[in-house]
Amino acid sequence: MVCLPQTGDDPGARVNRLGERIAKLIEAQGPLSIAQFMTIALHDPQDGYYATRDPIGAGGDFITAPEISQVFGEILGLWIVQAWRDQGRPSPARLVELGPGRGTLMGDVLHAGRLDPRFLESVDVILIEASARLRAAQARAFGAFGGLHIEWREHFDDSLTDRPLFLIANEFFDALPIRQFVRTERGWCERMITIGAQLELQFALFPRPSVLDIPHERGAAELGAVYEVSPAAEALVEQIASAIRANGGGALIVDYGYGADAEYGDTLQAVSQHEFANVLERPGAADLSTHVDFGALARAAERAKASALGPVGQGEFLCKLGVLERAAQLSQGNLKALQDDLERLIAPKKMGTLFKVLGIVPKNAAKPAGF
């Protein structure tokens, strides 16, 4: 298969060991989709990003909301406990987190769950984590919850869908693989990864156009417009929503992305040591992510005949659920002590608007707070 170089793209950069392996793979079988490239760069068992480093925190590449303040996880935990109560306190149930990082978020969720001991007695805790390095960090984080049944899985699968499911995913969907298509005079052509004369990685366009079903909300696209789609993310949400429809439960998906205001654009980015990096340079050494299409995820949940709530801005969601009051309790009334952390979580120019929350509950469930 011959791909056409994409005008204006960086022709490539330095190649590390994983980059050399990817180049040899392309040389042997042809160009890779961006989805294939992301999967290898993030999850290769030898040189992939999540297999070789602890990415979270000041010494890593990025900081997530649970690492900023415990109030974030506590608020999400209270939402889950209330959803459990509203649905008749089902037991046994599962409490699942996708991509638990260091275990900070789930630790705060369980801390909030202690307000209703029956909740903790009713749930098995399942952590979906592929990284052995992060699993070890999570195991250390849960030493204070020795009485709970906690287990790890590499993937969310149908074995977790046979009982009420309460699920949290914070900054998980942004790392799921996407495909990109570029509007050309020939039509929508898929953006691929190929190699240059020195085996450097570079972007190219598949020569034949693809037939795409683009949501009508996007409107007309100019030449050069980029459309992103994540079949993996939509399939996972549909699976989660199907379980919630069938057996009850609730899910919260929190991430950065767009909702009804979705536009065309290239959101694929690499981050290393809290700075943006070249996407194709030194694969496996930087985190790769994209903006989440919450509209697509909501439609996936509705296809599964569950109720999709939102998305709403993270700041609006946290404030409706009492984040300011909880922060005042923690600071003994001196909110100035937590002002910087709160501003980072809820201010529109920080995480408050770009980060969004999507909820999923059964069709017959009462509408929960926050939406």
Residues of the chain with pLDDT under 70: 1-14, 54-62, 143-146, 333-337
Tens-digit pLDDT profile for residues 298-352: 999 999 999 999 999 999 999 999 999 888 888 776 666 678 889 999 999 999 9
Q: How far is CA 235 from CA 176, 221, 293, 301, 358, in A?
A: 11, 26, 13, 9, 16
Tens-digit pLDDT profile for residues 128-170: 998 888 888 888 887 666 678 889 999 999 999 999 999 999 9
- DSSP label at residue 352: I
Which candidate, 120, 126, 109, 62, places its Cα nearest to that of 255?
62
Q: Which residues pair with 341 in a beta bridge?
A: none
The Cα 110–Cα 125 span in angstroms is: 9
Q: What are the structure tokens assigned to 57, written together?
A: 């925190």
Amino acid at 287: D
Helix residue ranges per DSSP H, 331-370: 339-346
pLDDT of residue 303: 97
Helix axes 34-43, 17-29, angle to 10 degrees: 140
Q: Architecture of 1-365 per CATH? A: 3-Layer(aba) Sandwich (3.40)
The Cα 191–Cα 13 span in angstroms is: 18
Q: Which residues pair with 18 in a beta bridge?
A: none
pLDDT of residue 199: 85
How far from each other are the two terminal CA atoms of the chain, in whole angstroms? 48
